[in-house]
Amino acid sequence: MKKMNKTERFTDKEWEKLASLLSDEKSEETDLLSRFMVEDTCNTGKQWKELKDMSSEKEINVDKAWNSVYSRLNEDGLKTNNGPARISFMRSTFMRVAATVVILLTLGTTTVYLNYTGTFSKKITVATDNDQN
Protein backbone atom coordinates (compact mmCIF):
# COMPACT_ATOMS: atom_id res chain seq x y z
CA MET A 1 0.00 0.00 0.00
CA LYS A 2 1.24 3.46 -0.90
CA LYS A 3 2.39 5.55 2.05
CA MET A 4 0.61 8.92 2.17
CA ASN A 5 2.73 12.04 1.96
CA LYS A 6 2.26 14.44 4.89
CA THR A 7 1.29 17.29 2.59
CA GLU A 8 -1.51 15.18 1.12
CA ARG A 9 -3.26 14.95 4.50
CA PHE A 10 -4.53 18.50 4.11
CA THR A 11 -6.69 19.90 1.33
CA ASP A 12 -5.89 23.12 -0.52
CA LYS A 13 -8.53 24.98 1.49
CA GLU A 14 -7.02 23.66 4.72
CA TRP A 15 -3.57 24.85 3.62
CA GLU A 16 -5.04 28.32 2.96
CA LYS A 17 -6.67 28.32 6.40
CA LEU A 18 -3.40 27.16 7.99
CA ALA A 19 -1.51 29.98 6.28
CA SER A 20 -4.00 32.54 7.56
CA LEU A 21 -3.86 31.03 11.06
CA LEU A 22 -0.06 31.00 11.16
CA SER A 23 0.11 34.59 9.97
CA ASP A 24 -2.42 35.62 12.65
CA GLU A 25 -5.00 36.75 10.09
CA LYS A 26 -7.56 34.41 11.67
CA SER A 27 -7.78 33.07 15.19
CA GLU A 28 -10.47 30.42 14.75
CA GLU A 29 -10.22 26.72 13.87
CA THR A 30 -7.72 25.77 16.54
CA ASP A 31 -8.54 22.11 15.77
CA LEU A 32 -6.94 22.40 12.34
CA LEU A 33 -3.93 24.23 13.75
CA SER A 34 -3.42 21.72 16.56
CA ARG A 35 -3.73 18.81 14.10
CA PHE A 36 -1.08 20.45 11.91
CA MET A 37 1.25 21.13 14.84
CA VAL A 38 1.06 17.48 15.97
CA GLU A 39 2.18 16.29 12.53
CA ASP A 40 4.67 19.13 12.00
CA THR A 41 8.10 17.53 12.34
CA CYS A 42 9.93 20.46 10.71
CA ASN A 43 8.77 23.13 13.19
CA THR A 44 7.03 24.99 10.39
CA GLY A 45 4.82 26.92 12.81
CA LYS A 46 7.82 28.20 14.76
CA GLN A 47 9.70 29.13 11.59
CA TRP A 48 6.62 30.90 10.22
CA LYS A 49 6.42 33.03 13.38
CA GLU A 50 10.14 33.84 13.15
CA LEU A 51 9.74 34.95 9.53
CA LYS A 52 6.82 37.14 10.52
CA ASP A 53 8.91 38.73 13.27
CA MET A 54 11.80 39.31 10.85
CA SER A 55 9.62 41.16 8.38
CA SER A 56 8.24 43.45 11.06
CA GLU A 57 11.66 44.54 12.29
CA LYS A 58 13.24 47.57 10.68
CA GLU A 59 13.18 48.62 7.06
CA ILE A 60 16.39 48.13 5.11
CA ASN A 61 18.07 51.27 3.80
CA VAL A 62 19.35 50.18 0.40
CA ASP A 63 21.33 53.36 -0.27
CA LYS A 64 23.16 53.09 3.03
CA ALA A 65 23.95 49.41 2.39
CA TRP A 66 25.26 50.18 -1.10
CA ASN A 67 27.42 53.03 0.19
CA SER A 68 28.83 50.69 2.82
CA VAL A 69 29.74 48.07 0.21
CA TYR A 70 31.18 50.74 -2.08
CA SER A 71 33.38 52.17 0.67
CA ARG A 72 34.60 48.69 1.67
CA LEU A 73 35.54 47.98 -1.95
CA ASN A 74 37.51 51.24 -2.06
CA GLU A 75 39.26 50.51 1.25
CA ASP A 76 40.28 47.01 0.17
CA GLY A 77 41.49 48.26 -3.20
CA LEU A 78 39.06 46.02 -5.07
CA LYS A 79 37.30 48.83 -6.92
CA THR A 80 39.01 49.82 -10.11
CA ASN A 81 38.63 52.92 -12.22
CA ASN A 82 36.57 52.98 -15.38
CA GLY A 83 39.76 52.56 -17.46
CA PRO A 84 39.50 48.84 -18.23
CA ALA A 85 35.93 49.18 -19.50
CA ARG A 86 37.03 51.90 -21.90
CA ILE A 87 40.03 49.87 -23.06
CA SER A 88 37.74 46.90 -23.60
CA PHE A 89 35.43 49.04 -25.74
CA MET A 90 38.34 50.40 -27.76
CA ARG A 91 39.76 46.88 -28.18
CA SER A 92 36.36 45.67 -29.37
CA THR A 93 36.13 48.49 -31.93
CA PHE A 94 39.68 47.79 -33.10
CA MET A 95 38.89 44.09 -33.57
CA ARG A 96 35.81 44.94 -35.68
CA VAL A 97 37.81 47.25 -37.92
CA ALA A 98 40.63 44.69 -38.24
CA ALA A 99 38.16 41.92 -39.16
CA THR A 100 36.57 44.14 -41.83
CA VAL A 101 40.00 44.97 -43.32
CA VAL A 102 40.98 41.26 -43.40
CA ILE A 103 37.72 40.34 -45.17
CA LEU A 104 38.13 43.12 -47.74
CA LEU A 105 41.77 42.19 -48.41
CA THR A 106 40.83 38.54 -48.85
CA LEU A 107 38.02 39.35 -51.30
CA GLY A 108 40.24 41.79 -53.21
CA THR A 109 43.16 39.37 -53.44
CA THR A 110 40.86 36.56 -54.61
CA THR A 111 39.33 38.79 -57.27
CA VAL A 112 42.74 39.92 -58.57
CA TYR A 113 44.04 36.33 -58.66
CA LEU A 114 40.99 34.98 -60.50
CA ASN A 115 41.20 37.85 -63.03
CA TYR A 116 44.96 37.30 -63.52
CA THR A 117 44.50 33.59 -64.23
CA GLY A 118 41.79 34.39 -66.75
CA THR A 119 38.99 32.64 -64.92
CA PHE A 120 36.62 35.56 -65.47
CA SER A 121 37.34 35.79 -69.21
CA LYS A 122 37.05 32.09 -70.07
CA LYS A 123 34.12 31.11 -72.23
CA ILE A 124 32.33 27.88 -71.64
CA THR A 125 30.79 26.14 -74.62
CA VAL A 126 28.13 23.56 -74.11
CA ALA A 127 27.45 21.20 -76.98
CA THR A 128 24.24 19.26 -77.27
CA ASP A 129 23.12 16.55 -79.72
CA ASN A 130 20.82 18.99 -81.55
CA ASP A 131 23.76 21.23 -82.56
CA GLN A 132 25.51 18.46 -84.57
CA ASN A 133 23.01 18.47 -87.49
Q: Give 70-100 pLDDT, tens digit per residue.
A: 888 888 777 666 555 566 777 888 899 999 9
Give the residue extent of every domain in the chain: 9-55
* 35 SS3 class: helix
Q: Which residue has the higher pLDDT, 102 or 83?
A: 102
Q: What is the pLDDT of residues 108-121, one digit of tens each?
A: 999 999 888 887 77
Q: Flag whether the pTM goes above 0.75.
A: no
pLDDT of residue 110: 94
The rounded distance, in Å, linking the Cα atoms of 77 and 71 is 10
The chain-wide mean pLDDT, for the chain, equals 76
